[in-house]
A and B are shown apart, each in its own frame.
Chain A
């Protein structure tokens, strides 16, 4: 916290990794990388890599968790011990419990869970390398995994991070920027219906800055959505 202002993250209009403020890192997407799952995807934003898979719809045990009128979505977000500089002790911690919940809530509005009474759709996000913006990378991957699993959806879900460093509003924070940011905001939207399904912010911002960042997030998500579409279409087009 105290260090935030000391570190120069933007020099001559460029970020340390040579990006413009409103530029994302290189984004890569793959679908169908885990055959044992009903659907799967891998998404990377620069050095942040998230794997995702979907199992189900499948029977839900113990039975008292079942909802007779609707299916449920369960999400587990986890970071691999080797994904960060200092080994992360394995298993869920407070951070991952919260992130699992907000990822679930980011995806739930997009899924027709009523089509599957009593059963569960289980979504897994494993961050195998973390360099900032892991939850939004995970949401993009899980959305692809759900679509490829043939889960009925209203829309895809697309996510990105935006924030403020050295007084400048930026898109797609990497780990160093995240650690030293004045503010960071995680946003997920349903691009066709234009609904915000994830919004988390910390740091300090004026209302005007927030509104500007939301605009940036909307624009960036449009581009990411296009990539999600292409990777899904490409996968199912087969060899030409």
Chain B
């Protein structure tokens, strides 16, 4: 197997030439440098670096998996695998009218419950708000959470979802991936699915990964 190109912090990626600065890079004197140990992504429009390791940083619009960590008067604090918790307001989570005087919010979500949600607001100072007001967001029941390096999630999903579809089809498991590095799995064959996901995480920077996973999961 051949390795893909890896860059280190401070490595020069090329002149900026009017390109957009993506994530993981910085500019100095019209030149663009890497902030991370990671893989460079350079095209005509944008220069960025995908880190090979690191803590998840919340971004607006990210679809994340969270664990309810506190129940407040009018919403929940959700742990999203990073040093910043997200606040999920009642109005962003429940459609029906709720009489706060009479209702315990634990009726909807209690501590330890797992939710799939979207980050609807992230301020500069990292105040994070989550929302479940779309059809994909939901409570995830009876599955297991697997923790992977957040930067490996795109590789687990694969091009247009090809990799995750492969695992879903071969293991018949239900799988939800959060961009924050948590993966939720439910199904009888979950051990196999977990093994495949952890293999992708470990070897995401190596070529020929799809073939290896195909072989591993069998027919």
Contact = CB atoms under 8 A, between A and B. Distances in A.
B92 to A, nearest CB: 23
Interface string B1-14: 11100101111100
Contact of A150 (B33, B37, B82): B37
B10 A156 contact: yes
A110 to B, nearest CB: 8
Interface in A64-102: 68-69
A117 B35 contact: no
A237 B6 contact: yes
Interface in B76-96: 82-84
Nearest to B202: A238
A135 interface: no
B192 to A, nearest CB: 22
B124 A154 contact: no
Contacts of B35: 112, 152-154
Contacts of B11: 192
Contacts of A116: 57, 83, 126
Given A68-B125, A154-B35, A59 B83 contact: yes
B83 A147 contact: no
Interface SS of chain A: loop
A107 to B, nearest CB: 12
A148 B37 contact: yes
Interface in B14-64: 24, 26, 28, 33, 35-38, 51-55, 57
Contact of A57 (B3, B12, B83, B203): B83
Contacts of A38: 53-55
Interface of A: 38-39, 56-59, 68-69, 110, 112, 115-119, 147-156, 190-193, 229, 232-233, 236-240
Nearest 7 CB-CB pairings of A with B: A150-B54, A155-B10, A153-B9, A192-B10, A150-B53, A152-B35, A119-B83
Given A149-B54, A193-B28, 4 more contacts: A147-B8, A152-B35, A153-B9, A238-B203
25 contacts: A57-B83, A58-B83, A69-B125, A117-B126, A118-B83, A119-B84, A147-B8, A147-B37, A148-B37, A150-B53, A150-B55, A150-B151, A154-B9, A154-B10, A154-B33, A155-B10, A156-B8, A156-B9, A190-B10, A229-B8, A233-B8, A236-B37, A238-B3, A238-B205, A240-B2
Interface of B: 1-3, 6, 8-12, 24, 26, 28, 33, 35-38, 51-55, 57, 82-84, 124-126, 151, 202-203, 205-206
